[in-house]
């Protein structure tokens, strides 16, 4: 692997700009905390005097620095994979509850705005639309295998109003819950 040829000042500019294009090409190590980060890390920026740059992850770790928990520079794939997995697990386990974005954000310890931005960046969906899909998937099972009414299913899967249930159902399945039930019983 070829090393980049950037001066200290150029690397400093990249971390101030949180430039993702340089992730993996160099690492920012903070002498006072003994933590190292990706250039794109959104954590509070250290004082310039406390920063060292390393071009190799083995070198920064050999120097005694540990990876940042926020940007996870030691992870090759997206640093948010674990976060997204935690959010999805939470949604699957709590889909019946009346969840708002703040509940989900509190669970993972982020601001609602930041969570929504990261989740959408990683999944191409908001937590709310993902939750709706989980609820509709559960309703499909109930429509097919139970005799619960559409209204009972609506509340059983966590929708707060029948109109939201019917709208979400039609958006995802291109039919009403009753049409789905009729068609699924016939097969």
101 and 186 inside one domain: yes
Measure CA of the first residue to CA of the last residue in the chain; give whole Å: 57
Residue 74 included in any domain: no
Residue 22 included in any domain: yes
**In contact, 97 and 135? CB cutoff 8 Å:** no
Positive or negative: CA dihedral 75, 33, 60, 45:
positive
Q: What is the CATH number of the domain that holds 17?
A: 3.40.10.10
176 and 89 inside one domain: yes
How confident is residue 161, by pLDDT bands cut at 50, 70 and 90? very high
Identify the pLDDT of residue 147.
94
Which of 20, 37, 67 delimits the end of a domain? 67
95 and 146 inside one domain: yes
* Res. 63: pLDDT tops 50: yes
Residue 44 included in any domain: yes
88 and 161 inside one domain: yes
137 and 177 inside one domain: yes
Identify the pLDDT of residue 128.
94
d(CA 132, CA 138): 10
* Res. 19: pLDDT tops 80: no
* Res. 2: pLDDT tops 70: no
Q: What is the CATH number of the domain that holds 130?
A: 1.10.10.60
Average pLDDT over residues 48-74: 93
Q: How many domains does the chain have?
A: 2
Q: Which pTM value belongs to this model?
A: 0.61
d(CA 169, CA 151): 13
98 and 26 inside one domain: no
Q: Across the chain, what does the average pLDDT equal?
A: 90
Identify the pLDDT of residue 84.
84
45 and 96 inside one domain: no
63 and 84 inside one domain: no
51 and 140 inside one domain: no
98 and 51 inside one domain: no
Which stretches does DSSP call E strand in 35-180? 35-37, 51-54, 66-67
Residue 1 included in any domain: no
85 and 173 inside one domain: yes
- β-pair type (35-37, 66-67): parallel
Look at the block and give the residue holding tokens 């090759």: 76
* Res. 1: pLDDT tops 70: no
Residue 112 included in any domain: yes
Residue 145 included in any domain: yes
Residue 67 phi/psi, 5-degree rounding, is -70, 145
Give the pLDDT confidence of 112-130 residue by residue, as tens digits. 999 999 999 888 899 999 9
Tokens of 41: 């890390």
Residue 64 phi/psi, 5-degree rounding, is 95, 10
Least confident of 33-37, 119-123, 149-153: 119-123
Average pLDDT over residues 57-86: 87
How confident is residue 24, by pLDDT bands cut at 50, 70 and 90? confident
23 and 51 inside one domain: yes
Q: What range does the domain containing 162 cover?
A: 80-187
């Amino acid at each position: 692997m070829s090393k980049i040829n950037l001066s200290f000042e150029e690397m400093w500019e990249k971390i101030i700009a949180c430039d993702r294009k340089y992730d993996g090409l160099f690492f920012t190590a903070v002498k006072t905390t003994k933590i190292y980060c990706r250039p794109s890390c959104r954590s509070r920026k250290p004082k310039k005097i406390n920063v060292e740059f390393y071009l190799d992850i083995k070198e920064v770790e050999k120097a005694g620095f540990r990876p940042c928990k926020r940007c996870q520079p030691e992870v090759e794939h997206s640093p948010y994979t674990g976060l997204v997995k935690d959010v999805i697990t939470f949604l699957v386990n709590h889909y019946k509850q009346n969840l708002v974005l703040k509940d989900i954000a509190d669970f993972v310890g982020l601001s609602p705005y930041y969570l929504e931005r990261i989740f959408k960046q990683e999944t191409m969906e908001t937590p709310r639309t993902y939750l709706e899909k989980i609820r509709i998937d559960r309703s499909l099972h109930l429509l097919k295998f139970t005799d619960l009414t559409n209204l009972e299913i609506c509340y059983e899967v966590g929708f707060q109003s029948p109109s939201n249930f019917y709208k979400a159902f039609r958006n995802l399945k291109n039919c009403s819950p009753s049409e789905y039930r009729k068609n699924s019983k016939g097969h």
